[in-house]
Amino acid sequence: MAGAFTLPRGAAASNTDLAPIFIPGEVARRLAAASAALLAAYVELHGRQLSLTVRRSVASTSWLHHKEPRGARPVCDLLAERLGRAEAEVLQLAEDSGRRTDTAAVSSSAQRNERGFGAGLLLETGAVERNLAKIFREKIKVFGAPVQFTQAALLGSIAGVGLKSLVECIRLQTLGRAGLQQLQLDCHYLRPLLRRFTGGRSQQVVDSLLDEVVSAGVERALDPTLLEPAVLDRILSNMDTGN
């Protein structure tokens, strides 16, 4: 038949010889899935380092017989340092997404005002119970949620892994009054440090997780007495000046 397509001699028709059908939607779905898996693995890699640091620190602290807090524990600066290493990588990988990169340059008094925000939220509302209810009502998820490819989302997710580990570890401890106040002081100190790495939604998640850490400590404390924000600021001010 004229015009008919004929195979070369000795060749057999086979479905495997035909090029695969290109389906844009399916390709896009697979690329998105691969991208999400890579981002999740990256967050897990750095998050595990923070988690290990947190677990070792909690295990080595005598929360029940702790002395009166005189400053934030060294682990707080260590967490910020390790998150800074991740930041150096993320700056080269992802676009800026409105992160608060100017926090490092603000005055110490402004930083203390930021630190007081979380403690004030716990104390000025008059109830840790109310804040705890808010946390569980919002159901903020760190694990399992897709990570956006932005600086704030990546760094916020990494910080979230470490803070979630801290919550889990504290829930296995029994704290005395001074131990709880030390935990509160640590979170008060960490708040502005971690805000430097985050922005937008990720900042809200980190702030809420810091509040959740303190709330977990209150639940596990024999004497759940927290310090006033002004007292926390004074302790950290004396710590900055070396007094």
113 class by beta-carbon count within 10 Å (0-12 exposed, 13-18 middle, 19+ buried)? middle
Q: Six-digit token pair at 27?
A: 């390709």
Which distant-in-sequence residues (6+ apart) come within 8 Å of 172 by Cβ? Answer: none
Place of tokens 């509302």: 125
Q: Six-digit token pair at 164?
A: 């979630």
Q: Which of 2-6, 29-33, 105-109, 156-160 has the highest mean predicted lDDT (pLDDT)?
A: 156-160
Distance CA 170, CA 180 (A): 10
**pLDDT digit string, tens, across residues 58-100:** 999 999 999 999 999 999 999 999 999 999 988 888 776 555 5
Give the residue among 113, 192, 130, 197 at the shortest CA–CA distance from 157: 197
* Whole-prediction pTM: 0.72
- Model confidence at 177, in pLDDT bands (50, 70, 90)? very high
In this prediction, residue 127 carries a pLDDT of: 43
φ, ψ for residue 142, nearest 5 deg:
-105, -45
Residue with the larger pLDDT of the pair 109 and 101: 101
- Model confidence at 47, in pLDDT bands (50, 70, 90)? confident
